[in-house]
Amino acid sequence: MTLAETDAATGLREVMAEIGRNARLAARALAIATPDQKRTALITAAGAINAHRAKILAANATDMAAARTKGISKAFLDRLELTDARIDAIIEAVRTIAELPDPVGTIIAEWDRPNGLHIERVRTPLGVIGVVFESRPNVTADASALCIKAGNAVILRGGSDSFHSSHAIVECMLDGLHAARLPTEAVQLVPTTDRAAVGEMLKGLDGNIDVIVPRGGKTLVARVQDEARVPVFAHLEGIVHVYIDKAAALDTAVAVTLNAKMRRTGICGAAETLLVHKDVVQTHLKPIIEALIAKGCEIRGDATVMSLIPAAKAATELDWRTEYEDAIISVKVVDSLDGAIAHIEKYSSHHTEAIISEDPQAVETFFNQVDSAIVMHNASTQFADGGEFGFGGEIGIATGRMHARGPVGVEQLTSFKYRVRGTGQTRP
Amino acid sequence: MTLAETDAATGLREVMAEIGRNARLAARALAIATPDQKRTALITAAGAINAHRAKILAANATDMAAARTKGISKAFLDRLELTDARIDAIIEAVRTIAELPDPVGTIIAEWDRPNGLHIERVRTPLGVIGVVFESRPNVTADASALCIKAGNAVILRGGSDSFHSSHAIVECMLDGLHAARLPTEAVQLVPTTDRAAVGEMLKGLDGNIDVIVPRGGKTLVARVQDEARVPVFAHLEGIVHVYIDKAAALDTAVAVTLNAKMRRTGICGAAETLLVHKDVVQTHLKPIIEALIAKGCEIRGDATVMSLIPAAKAATELDWRTEYEDAIISVKVVDSLDGAIAHIEKYSSHHTEAIISEDPQAVETFFNQVDSAIVMHNASTQFADGGEFGFGGEIGIATGRMHARGPVGVEQLTSFKYRVRGTGQTRP
């Protein structure tokens, strides 16, 4: 490194360290904020987003223009773009989160001990959440609102392409914090697009970040998991399976599979692999696949599928491991429920899997043995979503088993502590 | 490295990697074991410990003899030693854990969505737990029993000084697993005392360890937190505070402080710092300190304490940061409840803190603002213990805020998943 580079690196570390210290102080204030203060902050922020709509759209237009000159993909531009309708959705999300029950202080469990001690387990905030995301500007509002509601401070590091959009939205969140007399350092947007800032966050800013939430593609999540020295709520890919049991009702099988794959192909709850019991190949597999093809889905099948469906391509080993995020599905015939479970065990990313069956015993076996964050019966995997679960929003879907699993909403952004009430008890 | 050293390192890595793979397979079997199987395994193991008592004591005698020749400290030898009474306690602990309700499959929450989906959040095992501990042989039994009950596999890495004792106890756990027709790889004791084995565990054994639980002194915990690439349930030290409010009842203040400090000085729930409101210095501080001195406790106080108590030594900045684990207490006079909370915020290890007061408002403020795993009112901090909480045992006390906090019992060794039951719902 040259001297100038060393200075720059030191400067960045200092900027980030200060962001961490400020976040910790803000988190302490947020932890003891009243439910009313937090609600006021969010309602005011939602109002500010509405009031500053033109400014937000102008900032987004700046980001979009810069992104277009870089020749960025259409899918990326679509995620980056804000419209009036999308701003309405952001406002609605912030308002919904504002009106959720306040989780902090909720008694999760309480019991008495024979010695008369009364023990309560109560929800507390987690502390400081670091959110590293890519291009979606709505994450700025969603993540801030969820963190504030749960009494946390948040450090946001968005993709450089969405910087102006994110900045404009964060300004509105600060209006909300200010109105509620809460420290505005509770929501901080990292003011640099230098990638080294992410590295500093992954090191934890001297113990001032409690958990990192990556929101983005495989490359981002892999970097975060590899480098992070603090806990991560990682959302790996969604290699989602739908299993058609031999006791599946045909109409349910067709409707659910079609929705699970084709409603939106780019979301993480979209089905990627269809497993079909061998006994229903003639009755179920054919009509399901014909319906998928009619909707424009490409079929990659095993030998049985290939022999039945002329349009099918041959699935390779790689297909079973692929999250297409596209109108493509891999299809395999299995000998039994156990065969389906074994395939899922081998290839699933432990996100969401569904069984279509009218046999309660098969459903229970599937529910017990499939080790995924979400298991579903006779329902589309596209319901794997915090909003659909009634959480009012989500900051991502965790595929690990530590702390948070499945949609990460307000409740998953909390911890707990024990309150023990005595009358002078001493331990013998 | 020499060629021989390289071979040895590769050999160790292979041994540890195989332990990891076996643990993962065993964890899958444990995850779907019936409550009866897990109970049988533990009841049989407890019986085997009783039946093989002589063998366990002989193995312990071997460890003790070797430790004595090394000139190891008396406190260490005391932790290492097994006696008939201690073996009785181990058997009792395993039996208590055996009879706890089975956590796996418990419905933590359930609700219906407007579209008719029924969502259940149910407990699942965590997976593979790595336990790195020092000399206490009872950890072998406690950790194994808690992990089995929660449907997990465990990899145990005990201190080299307790190797024979641990091995003899693990043999009994394997008898239990065998009797219940569960894979004996669910409990594996690392067969080498090479410290590099710990390093391999901290790297996660190729994703085959889900969480590491360190049980031991500061040096061990610091190494684990520094090196671990997998989540850690860290038990930092217990810098535990007792605060005597101005509204404290004198008899409660004396009895609780005496017990909190002196019942057993070496446990993590023992008080290390006494904070006293300035208004009760004459009425409360003096009798509390006189009672402590009468029991043989050394006093390290601030200027006010020094002026009142001739026997007191001056407390230095270091004293407020020290877990004595001995008959020593640091004592400070504070101006207010807020002053006490600020001191705790600055120096506490977030383990356990107590307030002695008859003022409900002061108690609520203390409970809300003190950010520790356990906050207590009018009760001895020595109740900070999984057994005393009714958990049937503990694998440690977590001072972090992620996943587990406070005593880590069977429930804290579980995760959860969502079961979604539908009738053919598709997402609009």
Query: From the CA of B380, how many Å to the nearest CA of chain A?
Result: 5
A51 pLDDT tier (thresholds 50, 70, 90): very high
Of A415, A401, A404, give the one whose Cα is nearest residue A108.
A415
Query: From the CA of A163, how many Å to the nearest CA of chain B?
Result: 30
Interval B363-390 mean pLDDT = 96
pTM score, two decimals? 0.92
* Residue B64 CA: distances (Å) to CA of A39, B88, B143, B159, B249: 61, 19, 22, 13, 47
Return the residue matching tokens 């190797």.
B163
CB contacts, 8 Å: A380 with chain B: 422, 425-427
- Tell me the per-residue pLDDT of A195-241, one tens digit each, with 9 for 90 and over: 899 999 999 999 999 999 998 877 888 888 888 888 898 877 889 99
* Local structure of B178: helix, strand or coil: helix
Most B-contacting residue of A202, A225, A250, A417 (CB-CB within 10 A), to test interface: A417
Chain B segment 221-260 residues within 8 A of A by beta carbon are: 231, 249, 251-252, 255-256, 258-260
pLDDT at site B282: 94
Interval B130-153 mean pLDDT = 94
B235 pLDDT tier (thresholds 50, 70, 90): confident
Interval A31-45 mean pLDDT = 97
For β-strands A187-189 and A211-215, DSSP reports them as unpaired
Contact A77, A182 (CB under 8 A): no
% residues pLDDT > 70 (chain A)? 99
Q: 3-state DSSP helix/strand/coil percent for chain B, to nearest 5? A: 50, 20, 30
Cross-chain Cβ contact A368/B32 below 8 Å? yes
- Tell me the per-residue pLDDT of B183-201, one tens digit each, with 9 for 90 and over: 999 999 999 888 899 999 9
Most A-contacting residue of B106, B152, B203, B401 (CB-CB within 10 A), to test interface: B401
Query: From the CA of B188, how many Å to the nearest CA of chain A?
Result: 22
Is the pLDDT at B4 greater than 70? The verdict is no
Token pair for A397: 């879907």
Give the residue on A whose Cα is nearest the Cα of B415. A401
DSSP annotation of B388: T
Higher pLDDT, residue A7 or B210: B210
Is the pLDDT at A24 greater than 60? The verdict is yes
B100 pLDDT tier (thresholds 50, 70, 90): very high
Helices (H), B110-154: 138-149
% residues pLDDT > 90 (chain B)? 83
Cross-chain Cβ contact A371/B255 below 8 Å? no
- Rounded to whole angstroms, the Cα distance separating B180 from B184 reads 10
Of B352, B359, B418, give the one whose Cα is nearest residue B385.
B352
Higher pLDDT, residue A266 or A173: A173
| A240-388 CATH | 3.40.309.10
Query: From the CA of A226, how many Å to the nearest CA of chain B?
Result: 9
A420 at interface of B, judged by CB pairs closer than 8 A:
yes
CB contacts, 8 Å: A117 with chain B: 379, 383, 388
Q: Which of A237-251, B249-263, B394-408 has the lowest mean pLDDT?
A: B394-408
Q: Which of A38-47, B153-162, B372-381, B392-401 has the lowest mean pLDDT?
A: B392-401
Contact A359, A195 (CB under 8 A): no
Give the residue on B whose Cα is nearest the Cα of A371. B417
Interval B237-266 mean pLDDT = 96
For residue A47, the cross-strand partners are none
> What average pLDDT does chain A have?
94
CB contacts, 8 Å: B234 with chain A: none
Q: Does domain A11-233+408-419 have CATH number 3.30.1130.10?
A: no
A417 at interface of B, judged by CB pairs closer than 8 A:
yes
- Tell me the per-residue pLDDT of B295-344, one tens digit each, with 9 for 90 and over: 999 999 999 999 999 999 999 999 999 999 899 999 999 999 999 999 99
* Residue B410 CA: distances (Å) to CA of B144, B150, B158, B209: 11, 6, 20, 18
B209 pLDDT tier (thresholds 50, 70, 90): very high
Is the pLDDT at A279 greater than 90? The verdict is yes
For β-strands A211-215 and A328-334, DSSP reports them as unpaired
pLDDT at site B1: 56
A399 at interface of B, judged by CB pairs closer than 8 A:
no
- Rounded to whole angstroms, the Cα distance separating B329 from B259 reads 13
Cross-chain Cβ contact A372/B32 below 8 Å? no
Contact B396, B136 (CB under 8 A): no
pLDDT at site A177: 98
Interval A120-148 mean pLDDT = 94
Evaluate whether ipTM surpasses 0.85.
yes
DSSP B355-417: EE-S-HHHHHHHHHH--SSEEEEEE-GGG-STTTTTSS--S-EE-SSSS--EE--TGGGEEEE
Contact A240, A209 (CB under 8 A): no
Give the residue on B whose Cα is nearest the Cα of A30. B369
A112 pLDDT tier (thresholds 50, 70, 90): very high
Query: From the CA of A130, how many Å to the nearest CA of chain B?
Result: 14
Contact A104, A150 (CB under 8 A): yes
What fold does the segment set B3-233+408-419 form as a domain?
Answer: Aldehyde Dehydrogenase; Chain A, domain 1 (3.40.605)
Chain B segment 268-327 residues within 8 A of A by beta carbon are: none
Interval A171-184 mean pLDDT = 98
Of A395, A416, A414, give the one whose Cα is nearest residue A406.
A395
Of A57, A62, A61, give the one whose Cα is nearest residue A87.
A57
Residues 6+ apart with CB under 8 A from B108: B121, B122, B123, B416
Of A301, A244, A241, A249, give the one whose Cα is nearest residue A277.
A244
- Rounded to whole angstroms, the Cα distance separating A169 from A414 reads 24
- Tell me the per-residue pLDDT of A336-388, one tens digit each, with 9 for 90 and over: 999 999 999 999 999 999 999 999 999 999 999 999 999 999 999 999 999 89
% residues pLDDT > 90 (chain A)? 83
A127 at interface of B, judged by CB pairs closer than 8 A:
yes
Interval B218-230 mean pLDDT = 85
- Rounded to whole angstroms, the Cα distance separating A340 from A289 reads 18
pLDDT at site B178: 98
Domain range summary for chain B, segments of one domain joined by +: 3-233+408-419, 240-388
Q: At what angle do helices A53-69 and A84-98 cross, to 10 degrees?
A: 120
Interval B57-62 mean pLDDT = 97
